[in-house]
Amino acid sequence: MMEGGLNGAGYEEIGTGIFVPEEDAYEYAMERISSDRDLQKEFKEMFVEWFYSGNWVKEE
């Protein structure tokens, strides 16, 4: 992405100065998750738990 010092909405990583514009935030985050197998597994588990946390009952 870009070094800090930009104007506009987005996210800046503390310590590195990497700035991700708001319109690129989703794609950037998904790229980072997909490049790390352990994080990918953890994200998958959290997403499934979140998605089915409403009107769903888990059956064993």
Residue-wise DSSP of the chain: -EES---SSEEE-TTT-EEEEGGGHHHHHHHHHHT-HHHHHHHHHHHHHHHTTSS-----
Find, among 30, 5, 27, 28, the residue nearest to 16 by Cα: 5
pLDDT in tens, 6-22: 558 999 999 998 999 99
Per-residue pLDDT, 36? 83
Q: Which residue ranges of the chain lie beneath pLDDT 70?
A: 1-7
Per-residue pLDDT, 7? 59
- Report the half-sphere exposure of 38 (CA within 13 A, side-chain side): 0
Delimit the domains of the chain by residue range. 2-51
Per-residue pLDDT, 51? 93
